[in-house]
Amino acid sequence: MVDRNITGWVFYLDSDAYIENIDFDLSDYLKDKGQFAGIFSGYVNNVPHWVNSGGFALNFSHTLGRRLATDYWSFVNNIPDEKYNKAKIWEKDIEDDQSMLNSLLNRYVEDEGIGYNFIFEREGDSVVNLGPFIWQHIRAHAPTFRDRVSNLTETVAQITKGREIAWPDDGPGYYFPTTHTSIKTSVGKKNPNGVRTTGKDGALLYGPYIQLREGDYCIRLFGKLLAEKDSSTSNFELSVTENSGGNLLHTSSHQDLRNNQGILAEAFFSISHECLDVEAVVRVNRETNLEIYAVQFLKIITGAENFGIRKTEKELPHKIW
């Protein structure tokens, strides 16, 4: 979202957090807070900037809000894969997400003296978590993981009873950072950001071999064009296949995207049966100069225009029936 220049307030929720009061007037709450970079549920151990990371809000119209998102992302991605692979105990063998966030906030407040740009609310009164708008069903609230999931399911069902659900059970799709092990490269080079071109012809990326049900889909590539030389181009080919490449679901050429970043490509395809190993393939030539951060598969649903996805017959040229 930072790369795509998203502005305004962005709320983060852990998977065990939910909106407790759907009728809460969020616009009224935020209307006088545009000068702040973020809002947190703080005062853990009575330290204002020691926060619960299960729910918080960042203002992407504020320089420091965007910086915190970038610093947080860098903190996670700078941990070597080897350390992740060897870690067995969360919070002991590897630093957990809440500790990472608190380390950053402590640096901002104690070392840089810029804590005044953030709002630290108290648990119980915090709008961003454990308060009147968002609640979190933490581990201490249930004896087992199964109980926790069951309680969450029942609670959310009660809250949404009689209301129209925006997303069906299929969810918003699949998002794969290209640093993920299921994304491979033949001619590219992986780095902490993703995978970038190296001046060679061939497959910059392929993967992740996922299962998709019948339906209409949108695939997106997130990244950045690197026009460092006059001879550089943004030309590449995007394909979607299944059955180890034996069945082509979509193919399209993309070019003249110089100086672009964020969503580099967006394409649409349809499948009439359940596919077990859907793969995205991006092919480049020697002049292509770009870096791809992530691949996303989105299932197009009724009312998808509300989420920025436009579905028309013109945009769905490749149908497999």
Please give the distance of CA 78 from its chain centroid, rounded to a whole number. Answer: 18
Percentage of residues in the chain with pLDDT exceeding 70? 87
pLDDT band for position 308 (cuts 50, 70, 90): very low
Q: How far apart are CA 91 and CA 82, in angstroms?
A: 16
Q: Is 292 left (phi over 0), alpha (psi -120 to 50) or beta?
A: beta
pLDDT(238) > 90: yes
Tell me which amino acid residue 77 is. N
pLDDT of residue 60: 94
pLDDT at 1 over 90: no
Could you count the other beta carbons within 10 Å of the beta carbon of residue 97?
A: 15
Q: Which domains does the chain have, with CATH numbers?
A: 9-159 (no CATH), 174-320 (2.60.120.260)
Mean predicted confidence (pLDDT) in 271-297: 93
Higher pLDDT, 304 or 148: 148
Instruction: Identify whether the C-beta of residue 271 lies closer than 8 Å to the C-beta of residue 214.
Output: yes
Which band of pLDDT confidence, cut at 50, 70 and 90, is reported for residue 314?
very low
Return d(Cα 173, Cα 273) in angstroms, integer.
17
Return the exposure string of 257-279: e unless at least 16 CB atoms fall within 10 Å of the residue's CB, then b. Answer: beeebbebbbbbbbbeeebebbb
Q: Per-residue pLDDT averaged across 266-293, rounded?
A: 92
- Supply the pLDDT for residue 19: 94
**Is the confidence at residue 53, as pLDDT, over 80?**
yes
Considering the chain, what is the average pLDDT of its residues? Answer: 86
Confidence at residue 154, expressed as pLDDT on a 0 to 100 scale: 93
3-state helix, strand, coil in the chain (%, to 5): 20, 35, 45
pLDDT at residue 96 in the model: 87
Q: Strand runs (DSSP E) across 112-214, as ranges?
A: 118-122, 134-136, 174-177, 189-190, 195-196, 202-212
Q: Is the pLDDT of residue 110 over 70?
A: yes
Encode pLDDT of 26-41 as tens digits: 999 999 999 999 999 9
pLDDT tens track for 193-232? 899 999 999 999 999 999 998 989 999 999 988 865 555 6
